[in-house]
């Protein structure tokens, strides 16, 4: 019957396999889950379970709360009963097995989607979340810089004047400081790209400044080099004025951030933590009171 439900993995197929243990906690039998996830051989499915257990520990959670080795009786001929290895699995364990399963199996792909829909999301640490946000903003500002350069060219800015054009935006936003003066004020080495040393707040302000300039150049149909440079300066001033009005820190007063390459390296090396609420963190122990007892 489980095999019939496999192609339609979803609420009924997965949830119908759920059982309740002595701690009033939900659990799934690995033997029941095996065919649902497209595994014909227990040995290969057990390998996926072991990878999931390792992932559980690496994520900062106790695998013993989510994976419990048990024996499962299998009726045989003439009343014989064979005891085979099995695991009781928490919902979080099932999620990790899906994440560590064979990605070539369509059942695994469906399971991964199912758990995503069920909002068993990976919670990043505060530092990793901030790093990820900054990396994304840096990527966006790089793309916006290219788009603005294209808009400037359409507006009549010559290649040899691109430095002047882009510096005009900085001067508007930074109270008259060009890129070189900003680096001097913040102690940024000349060899470093200025945006590589901006924090998320400063990157967002500059992205907004570039976006608005590009839109204004198109909206006003600017077609002369002096007008394009003045437009960039004016938009920078308007963004600066908005920061002042809301009481934000002016960009020249924001400290320089560590180089973006160091942030990228840290994110690549980081082990994400999976933060669970109390119920999910307790897994097979139900409300969590059991593992607090002596």
Is the domain of 281 the same as that of 160? no
Is the domain of 85 the same as that of 160? no
The closest alpha carbon to 35, from 11, 12, 60, 17, belongs to: 17
Give the per-residue pLDDT at 10.
45
Is the domain of 258 the same as that of 151? yes
Query: What distance lies between CA 44 and its chain's CA centroid?
Result: 29
Is the domain of 155 the same as that of 262? yes
Is the domain of 52 the same as that of 166? no
Is the domain of 117 the same as that of 168? no
Give the per-residue pLDDT at 11.
46
Give the per-residue pLDDT at 125.
58
Q: Using a pLDDT cut of 70, give the percent of the chain over it.
A: 84
Is the domain of 107 the same as that of 142? no
Is the domain of 139 the same as that of 225? yes
80 has pLDDT over 80 = no
Q: Using a pLDDT cut of 90, give the percent of the chain over it.
A: 59
Is the domain of 153 the same as that of 248? yes
109 has pLDDT over 70 = yes
Is the domain of 103 the same as that of 24? yes
Is the domain of 61 the same as that of 182? no
Domain extent for 56: 2-123+275-292
142 has pLDDT over 90 = yes
Query: 140-154, 155-169, 269-283: which range is least confident on average?
Result: 269-283
Is the domain of 86 the same as that of 177? no
């Amino acid at each position: 019957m489980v095999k019939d439900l496999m192609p339609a993995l979803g609420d009924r197929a997965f949830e119908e396999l759920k059982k309740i243990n002595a701690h009033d906690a939900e659990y799934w039998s690995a033997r029941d889950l095996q065919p649902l996830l497209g595994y014909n051989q227990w040995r290969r499915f057990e390998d996926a379970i072991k990878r999931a257990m390792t992932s559980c520990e690496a994520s900062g959670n106790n695998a013993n709360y989510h994976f419990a080795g048990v024996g499962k009786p299998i009726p045989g001929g003439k009343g014989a009963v064979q005891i085979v290895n099995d695991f009781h699995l928490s919902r979080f364990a099932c999620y990790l097995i899906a994440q560590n399963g064979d990605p070539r199996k369509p059942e695994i792909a469906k399971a991964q989607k199912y758990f995503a829909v069920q909002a068993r999301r990976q919670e990043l640490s505060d530092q990793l979340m901030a790093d990820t946000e900054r990396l994304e903003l840096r990527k966006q500002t790089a793309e916006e810089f290219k788009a603005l350069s294209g808009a400037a060219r359409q507006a009549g800015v010559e290649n040899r004047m691109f430095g002047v054009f882009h510096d005009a935006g900085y001067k508007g936003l930074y109270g008259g400081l060009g890129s070189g003066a900003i680096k001097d004020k913040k102690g940024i080495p000349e060899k470093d790209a200025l945006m590589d040393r901006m924090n998320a707040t400063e990157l967002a302000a500059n992205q907004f400044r570039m976006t608005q300039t590009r839109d204004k150049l198109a909206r006003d149909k600017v077609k002369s080099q002096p007008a394009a440079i003045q437009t960039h300066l004016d938009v920078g001033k308007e963004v600066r004025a908005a920061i002042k009005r809301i009481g934000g820190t002016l960009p020249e007063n924001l400290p320089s951030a560590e180089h973006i390459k160091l942030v990228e390296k840290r994110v690549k090396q980081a082990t994400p933590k999976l933060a669970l609420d109390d119920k999910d963190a307790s897994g097979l122990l139900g409300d969590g009171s059991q593992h607090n007892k002596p």
